[in-house]
Amino acid sequence: AGNYAFQAQPMAFPGGPAVPPIQNQPMVQEGTIWMPIPPSIPNCPPGLEYLTQIDQILIHQQIELLEILSGFETNNKYELKNALGQRVYFAAEDTDCLTRNCCGPSRPFTIQILDNLGREVIRLERPLRCSSCCCPCCLQEVEVQAPPGTTVGYVVQNWHACLPKFTIQDDKRMDILKITGPCVVCSCCEDVNFEVKSVDETCTVGRIAKHWTGFVREAFTDSDNFGITFPMDLDVKMKAVMIGACFLIDFMFFEHSGDRKQRAGVW
């Protein structure tokens, strides 16, 4: 966690002792306003208390200048914000150089999600799986841990001839929610919506949307913006799993377009 420099620093007055940061007040670090630290909640995984207070989260992938200039794939980094623009979490991919540049968007990954104290509160683990729709026996999956080492759920791809479909499961592999995307996953000049539904798919309870960010950004980078909406009273563990679903959708459907354009510009 120290690699990301998010440890809250105590404030001090001349000639006086250090004073710890005041909880429940917005924190400002390097020009970034963080969401106030919520109080701890019984039976809530540490760090997920933030999710009890929001029904929407925005994910902004940071633009990497090295990728734009060279086409060399670097570890992705993301800001996760609430509807007020306050940073809730920071996410960073932890994948070795060879895997990133040989496997591309199909690569296995570990994504660490940190809170404003620099604690890793969520970890996403994606194993290497075949990305072809012709292999229904080896579909994509992400394991969500909160805190790291404690599995709270899974995102499992479901085979379908036309539609992108996923299932959100709890730690016991019980189906909790379903996700269905459009037949044609194209982000040209409009948002792409993946509907989150009940298990029987009769009721829509949320949405994962890939936001259109403009022609230049879409054409020359793989830096994407997403929005996730969910019921305020949804179990925080399932909210964390929905965040994992968003990252999997990004890698499966949107990461590769920027990669191809970057490499085309280089070669």
18 located within any domain:
no
Alpha-carbon dihedral angle through residues 103, 101, 67, 1, given to the nearest 10 degrees = 90
- As a residue count, the chain comes to 267
Choose the weakest-confidence range: 99-103, 178-182, 230-234.
Answer: 99-103
Q: For the chain, what is the radius of gyration of the CA atoms?
A: 19
Contact 216, 258 (CB under 8 A): no
| Average pLDDT in the chain | 81
264 located within any domain:
no
Question: Cα–Cα distance between 167 and 157 in angstroms, integer?
Answer: 6
267 located within any domain:
no
Give 160's pLDDT tier (boundaries 50, 70, 90): confident
- Name, in order, each residue with C-beta under 8 angstroms of 42's C-beta and a sequence gap of 6 or more: none
Residue 23 or 115, more confident: 115
Q: What is the pLDDT of residue 187?
A: 62
231 located within any domain:
yes
- Name, in order, each residue with C-beta under 8 angstroms of 265's C-beta and a sequence gap of 6 or more: 71, 220
Question: Cα–Cα distance between 107 and 130 in angstroms, integer?
Answer: 10
Q: Give this prediction's pTM.
A: 0.81
Instruction: Name the residue among 91, 80, 75, 86 with its Cα closest to residue 31.
Output: 86
Cβ-in-10-Å burial (0-12, 13-18, 19+) of 47 comes to: buried
User: What value does the mean pLDDT take over residues 70-92?
Assistant: 88
Q: What is the pLDDT of residue 10?
A: 43
24 located within any domain:
no
211: CATH: 2.40.160.200
The pLDDT of residue 201 is above 70 = yes
Give 48's pLDDT tier (boundaries 50, 70, 90): very high
Domain count, the chain: 1
Portion of the chain with pLDDT greater than 70, in percent: 72
Give 214's pLDDT tier (boundaries 50, 70, 90): low
Query: Residue 241: which domain range?
Result: 49-255
Alpha-carbon dihedral angle through residues 168, 106, 225, 249, given to the nearest 10 degrees = -20
Instruction: Name the residue among 100, 104, 75, 105 with its Cα closest to residue 90.
Output: 75
Instruction: Name the residue among 221, 217, 209 with its Cα closest to residue 256.
Output: 221
39 located within any domain:
no
